[in-house]
Structure 1
Amino acid sequence: MLAKPELAHYVIDWPRAGDLGVIAEDESPVGAAWLRFLPESDPGYGFVDSATPELTIGVLQGWRGQGVGARLLETLIDSAREKQVEAVILSVEPDNYALGLYERFGFEQVGTVGGAITMLLQL
């Protein structure tokens, strides 16, 4: 991940001011979700502006479909609200199983970039 600039900016120098993250564990990590504010000079896949953090989430294959992603997302969104974050953005491929999860949490499609769907959640 660090060798690819288009991905590295999601984790380099973790944590920076404003970063939020959660980890799901069952003896060892099984998933993680985090928010990162990216500058206009180094935008992410779902970038809309530097005041809107981008969500990244991942759950190990064997743990998918068991509610881990939903719990991570719920906890992270609650933390963002506590920190008075106004909105969260993400980018997802249209065939990604998580698309339905994002829609259940209230993310709305606001555009597409290179075939990926950009989704926004107003907090």
Structure 2
Amino acid sequence: MPFVLRPARASDADFLAEMLVAASFWHPHGPRGSVAEVLGRPQLAHYVAGWPRPDDVGVIALHDRQPIGAAWLRTFPADDPGYGFVDAATPELAIGVTAEWRGQGVGDRLLGALITAAAEHGFAAVSLSVERQNPARRLYERHGFRRVGEESGSPTMLLLLGEG
């Protein structure tokens, strides 16, 4: 089934929150979360609060005009870091795909498009945090992300843009 990509816009804020839930509660047999629960946790909510801020970059995947996945970048200050924080100049990646579309190449295309958009935006690198057991880790490695640290048992990964 075909899908298309487009840049994320202000009207996508609610869908980004849904995809933050999908990213945070990714395990198919794990606990389920809600948008209210995620937005009630400041360490998660800051990935979407006030979307979009001036340096935010995002991509939405659509099938029949319905959103099925999203990938976005946001920078954080050192005094309010995200889980994959490297430095205040390096945006952190968040990505989520609806359950019925996982494993169909949506995440791969979203990630590729977001990396291109990040480079066009002038970012030198992109970081992320991923749980060791999350199968998305292989996707990040295929796109060139490399482990640079670990926080709370989850690897922090970095992609230097303009290399390779």
TM surpasses 0.5: yes
The aligned counterpart of 1:46 is 84
Aligned equivalents of 2:87, 2:71: Cα separation in 1 = 20
In structure 2, list runs of 5 or more residues that go unmatched: 1-37
- Match in the other structure for 1:12: 49
1:62 CA displacement:
1.2
Q: What corresponds to 1:86 in structure 2?
A: 124
Identity %: 61
**TM-score computed with the length of structure 2 as normaliser:** 0.74
Offset at residue 41 of structure 1 (A): 1.3
CA distance in 1, matches of 2:137, 2:104: 15
Structure showing greater Rg: 2
Between structures 1 and 2, the one with greater strand share? 1
CA RMSD of aligned residues (A): 0.7
The one-letter code of the counterpart of 1:55 is L
Q: Counterpart amino acid of 1:17? A: P
Q: 2: CA distance between counterparts of 1:41 and 1:110?
A: 20
2:107 is aligned with 1:69: yes
Aligned to 1:23: 60
Alpha-carbon offset, residue 82 of structure 1: 0.8
Tell me the residue number matched to 1:115. 153
- Aligned-partner Cα distance in 2 for 1:38–1:22: 19
Shift of 1:83: 1.3
Inter-partner Cα distance in structure 2 for 1:98 and 1:66:
13
1:12-46, CA deviations, whole angstroms, 9 ceiling, x for partnerless residues? 11111110001111131110000001111110001
Cα shift at 1:3: 1.0
**1:39-66 superposed Cα distances (whole Å, 9 cap, x missing partner):** 1111000101100000000011111111
Indicate the SS of the match to 1:35: strand
Q: Please list every run of at least 4 consecutive aligned residues from structure 1 whose deviation after the TM superposition is greater than 6 angstroms.
A: none
Offset from partner CA, 1:80-111 (integer Å, 9 cap, x none): 11111100000000110101000000000011
Helix, strand or coil for the counterpart of 1:58?
A: strand
